[in-house]
Amino acid sequence: MKEIKRFQIRGVPGDVKRVDFNGRIIDYWMPKASAERLLVAHDGQNVFDGHTSTHRYQTWKMAQSAIRVSRELGITPPAIIGVWHSGSKEDEWGRGKDLVPEKYFRDGIKIQNDYAKILEDLSILRGDEYLRNILDIYVPELVPGISADMTAMIGSSMGALATLYALAQYPDRFTTALALSPHWPFGALPLVERTIKELPVSDKYRVWMSHGTKSLDAEYAPFQLVADRLMFEKGYTHQNFISKVYQRSSHNERSWAKYLDQPMRFWLST
């Protein structure tokens, strides 16, 4: 691990640190008090730094939200790790290769035509390696000692799919999955069905799903209705599963940031 830089965010005490793990960039922030909780976020470019975000100067404002909600609840804010995806000009589909639920597509789920270029060759997928590195290397080195029941993962779009997939693959490593705008059209109903089927179920697991009604999010409602039905059939209840629709909310960091307090509170209030 090599530290690259430190920077500050208005309204957030301390520094955000940027480190390089053999080519994987991670931004992370720790509260001044000892962290008792941990939030692992996909698309780390968009979590803290407006200069690196996909849409210029639009970020999740994740630390600000965590501080605000934690203050309301009277708890110490969580540490936050933002894992960058590897998409670039040289690797156009790098983000998809990282975030695709690898086993499901290797087992035969068909990708929809609009996204077929990502999966022209299944050997290029690296979703399993990506998650394994996060949970076996990055988290233990950056924020050691935080228990699974105090750890959550969050992502949007393909990152939401990766979050739900990670909970199925690593149910002993974290217990809350916050999936904003899950990109169900990537694999359509077979992906919905396989994703829900593989999720662990008990009172200790908590899952949040949400989507808007504009841009890409406008396509999600039929798939999410199926996901909701399957979640309750599986044994989730309104106490440990929330599904929300945000009218006029779109598919970008600004939209997710506007309602981030709600999934944050769903997790931190436990």
pLDDT at 124: 77
* Percent with pLDDT over 70 in the chain: 96
12-21 and 24-29: which strand pairing?
Answer: antiparallel
The arithmetic mean of pLDDT across residues 228-249, rounded, is 97
Which of 56-60, 124-128, 208-212 is predicted most confidently?
208-212
pLDDT at 6: 96
Angle at 145 between CA 143 and CA 151, to 5 degrees: 70
What is the chain's percent helix, strand, coil content, to nearest 5?
Answer: 45, 20, 35
pLDDT at 270: 85
Beta bridge partners of 242: 208
pLDDT at 115: 62
Residue-averaged pLDDT of the chain: 93
- Rounded distance between C-alpha atoms, residue 220 and residue 217, angstroms: 5
Q: What is the DSSP string of 199-259?
A: S--STT-EEEEEEESSGGGGG-HHHHHHHHHHHHHHT--TTTEEEEEETT--SSHHHHHHH
- Rounded distance between C-alpha atoms, residue 126 and residue 128, angstroms: 6
pLDDT for residue 121 is more than 70: no
Tell me the pLDDT band of 116, cut-offs 50, 70 and 90: low
The arithmetic mean of pLDDT across residues 77-94, rounded, is 88
pLDDT at 93: 79
Q: Which of 196, 126, 137 is nearest to 161 (CA)?
A: 196
Residue 134 per-residue DSSP state: I
The arithmetic mean of pLDDT across residues 47-70, rounded, is 91
Is CATH 3.40.50.300 the classification given to domain 2-268? no
* Per-residue model confidence as pLDDT tens digits over 28-51: 999 987 899 999 999 999 999 989
* Per-residue model confidence as pLDDT tens digits over 143-175: 999 999 999 999 999 999 999 999 999 999 999
Tell me the pLDDT band of 112, cut-offs 50, 70 and 90: confident
User: What are the boundaries of each domain within the chain?
Assistant: 2-268
Tell me the pLDDT band of 110, cut-offs 50, 70 and 90: confident
pLDDT at 122: 65
3-state DSSP assignment of residue 80: strand
Tell me the pLDDT band of 120, cut-offs 50, 70 and 90: low
Stated as kind and residue range, the H or E segment containing 162 is helix 158-169
Tell me the pLDDT band of 114, cut-offs 50, 70 and 90: low
3-state DSSP assignment of residue 116: helix
- Rounded distance between C-alpha atoms, residue 65 and residue 72, angstroms: 11
Residues 6+ apart with CB under 8 A from 59: 46, 47, 48, 49, 50, 53, 253, 257
Tell me the pLDDT band of 128, cut-offs 50, 70 and 90: very high
